[in-house]
Amino acid sequence: MTDPAQIAPAFRDRVLALVARIPEGHVMTYGQLALLAGQPGAARQAGFVMNSLVGGVSTDGSGLPWHRVINAQGRVSTHKVGFGDMQEALLRAEGVPLDATGRCDLAARQWWPEEERGAPPTPLL
């Protein structure tokens, strides 16, 4: 398992910059964040970055919208750390529909930055 302290600051900064841009009512996945931050396949590391925010971020809109990041199955992954119900409630409050199993329709709600469509990410060295 990756030590969160070993995550490159440039990767962390790129992940956080992407999260800040996710529009209300939309979501991104951990894998998508990793891809767009230049580390394809580093979904777990993106999750470590996001986990460092959960619980320390204000839910009044003044912090980063951590709740807009979900897993590749369209579900929240924060139940095991005690924030799943909160994350689902925040998503629903923004108009993101979740089915009875807590799944979001990624085809309808997943956001891609316009400048990233069709362009492969630049890997971090």
pLDDT at 5 over 70: no
Average pLDDT, stretch 83-88?
A: 93
Report residue 113's pLDDT band, with 50, 70 and 90 as the boundaries: very high
Report residue 59's pLDDT band, with 50, 70 and 90 as the boundaries: very low
Average pLDDT, stretch 19-37?
A: 96
pTM over 0.95: no
Q: Would you identify the CATH topology of the domain 4-106?
A: Arc Repressor Mutant, subunit A (1.10.10)
List, in sequence order, every residue forming a beta bridge with 27; answer none if it has no partner: 110
Give the integer Cα–Cα distance in Å for 10 and 7: 9
- According to DSSP, residue 84 is labeled H
Given a contact cutoff of 8 angstroms between Cβ atoms, the answer to whether 91 and 74 are in contact is no
